[in-house]
């Protein structure tokens, strides 16, 4: 499929909330779009989506067009995180989430709720308060505020993000602020709390580091299954798991058998699975662009070949759509970036040409139908 050009599939409608930036009008997807990643995913009963930020959507007409062509689902990359919603205690920033939801609503996209609890995105004031007072009401109020406002429009939530740590954790749980304040059962309590405020939502625990053959990934796979087993046995409201799938070319071959065993064990517990943050971190930026792009595509294909053999894998979300806006590029400091350029680990390059990774996604999603 490599090298196929995308047909122009977008029509532009007059006026609307997205008419800012370069003076663009909102872009609506045409009914006959093909090929597209959503189209391919839907043929297998799945969805395809991408993470995005409201400010990027507003600025960049080409991003909006690519999202409307390819995505059925959007994940707010940062705006639902606690430190984005409430950087200072009591001062709330709902506008970016509301903007992203407005864009989604106008265009018939669904939104994944990412994420209610993540240590790294918990504001300092909340961490201090939690550790000082150990008062669960802080958590209830946060859940009630966010879910009270959004649960009627967002029906799938990463309630807890990244709870596993097999290297310096306790019983394989990360010693994060929640763990230190409330003990290991913060997990059960958070899931129950989410269920109280979102009775009909699909509730998920999301984590990373399951793909490779090294001892840490192996231990993480076992720990993830053990956690899920414990929660299901205790009838804690957990509907599914999210596997982030930040693939990494420096980590050697994907452990197909290990990945299959973990996925099957999770499915046997009655859970379904979402690939929530797929992208590919590169190692050698000195290789030619076609060689780099081929490696990224091959890694994507190897991963999805395993995962999409399971019908219970309900959707694939990439952590961005274009290399222009990728956290993998954000992470590289400016000096290294000048030398290495952007990371090429997403379906479109930074000028919105689909790369071999796009076709690997399209092909594996369609082939698994």
Q: Which residues bind to ligand XIL, rule: CB under 6 A? A: 77-78, 161, 244, 277, 327, 330
CA distance 276 to 319: 8
CB of 247 to ligand XIL, least distance (A): 13
Of 350, 246, 359, the C-alpha closest to 297 is 359
CA distance 244 to 208: 5
Q: Which residues pair with 28 in a beta bridge?
A: 11
For ligand XIL, the closer of residues 193 and 277 by Cβ is 277
CA distance 87 to 64: 28
CB of 317 to ligand XIL, least distance (A): 11
CB of 39 to ligand XIL, least distance (A): 26
Cβ-proximal residue to ligand XIL, closest one: 327
Q: Taking the CA atoms of the chain, what radius of gyration do you get in angstroms?
A: 20
CB of 246 to ligand XIL, least distance (A): 7
Of 170, 186, 198, 192, the C-alpha closest to 130 is 186
**What is the rounded (10 degree) CA torsion for 349, 350, 351, 353?**
10
CB of 210 to ligand XIL, least distance (A): 13
For ligand XIL, the closer of residues 72 and 277 by Cβ is 277
For ligand XIL, the closer of residues 38 and 244 by Cβ is 244
CB of 279 to ligand XIL, least distance (A): 9
For ligand XIL, the closer of residues 50 and 306 by Cβ is 50
CA distance 95 to 117: 20
For ligand XIL, the closer of residues 348 and 359 by Cβ is 348
Q: Is the preceding omega at residue 134 within 30 degrees of 0, hence cis?
A: no
* Class of residue 169 by CB neighbours under 10 A (exposed 0-12, middle 13-18, buried 19+): middle
For ligand XIL, the closer of residues 78 and 306 by Cβ is 78
């Amino acid at each position: 499929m490599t090298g196929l050009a995308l047909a122009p599939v977008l029509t532009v409608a007059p006026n609307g909330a997205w008419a800012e930036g370069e003076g663009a009008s909102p872009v609506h997807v045409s009914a006959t779009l093909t090929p597209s990643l959503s189209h391919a995913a839907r043929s297998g009963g799945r969805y395809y989506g991408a993470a995005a930020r409201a400010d990027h959507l507003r600025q960049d007409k080409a991003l909006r067009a690519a999202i409307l062509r390819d995505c059925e689902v959007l994940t707010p990359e940062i705006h639902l995180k606690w430190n984005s919603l409430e950087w200072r205690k009591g001062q709330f920033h709902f506008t970016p989430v509301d903007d992203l939801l407005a864009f989604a609503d106008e265009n018939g996209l669904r939104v994944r709720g990412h994420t209610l609890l993540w240590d790294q995105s918990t504001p300092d004031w909340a961490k201090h308060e939690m550790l000082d007072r150990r008062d669960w009401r802080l958590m209830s109020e946060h859940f009630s505020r966010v879910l009270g406002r959004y649960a009627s429009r967002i029906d799938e939530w990463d309630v807890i993000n990244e709870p596993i740590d097999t290297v310096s954790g306790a019983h394989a749980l990360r010693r994060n602020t929640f763990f230190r304040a409330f003990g290991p059962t913060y997990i059960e309590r958070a899931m129950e709390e989410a269920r109280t405020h979102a009775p009909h939502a699909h509730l998920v625990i999301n984590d990373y580091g399951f793909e490779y053959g090294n001892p840490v990934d192996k231990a993480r796979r076992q720990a993830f299954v053990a956690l899920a087993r414990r929660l299901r046995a205790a009838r804690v409201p957990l509907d599914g798991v999210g596997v982030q799938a930040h693939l990494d070319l420096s980590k050697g071959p994907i452990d197909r058998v290990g990945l299959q065993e973990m996925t099957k064990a999770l499915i046997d517990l009655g859970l379904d699975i979402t690939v929530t943050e797929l992208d590919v971190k590169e190692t050698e930026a000195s290789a030619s662009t076609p060689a780099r792009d081929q490696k990224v595509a091959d890694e994507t294909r190897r991963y999805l070949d395993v995962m999409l053999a399971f019908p219970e894998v309900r959707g694939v979300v990439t952590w961005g759509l274009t290399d222009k806006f990728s956290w993998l590029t954000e992470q590289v400091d400016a000096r290294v970036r000048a030398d290495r350029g952007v990371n090429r680990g997403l379906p479109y390059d930074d000028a919105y040409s689909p790369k071999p990774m796009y076709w690997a996604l399209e092909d594996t999603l369609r082939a698994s139908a």
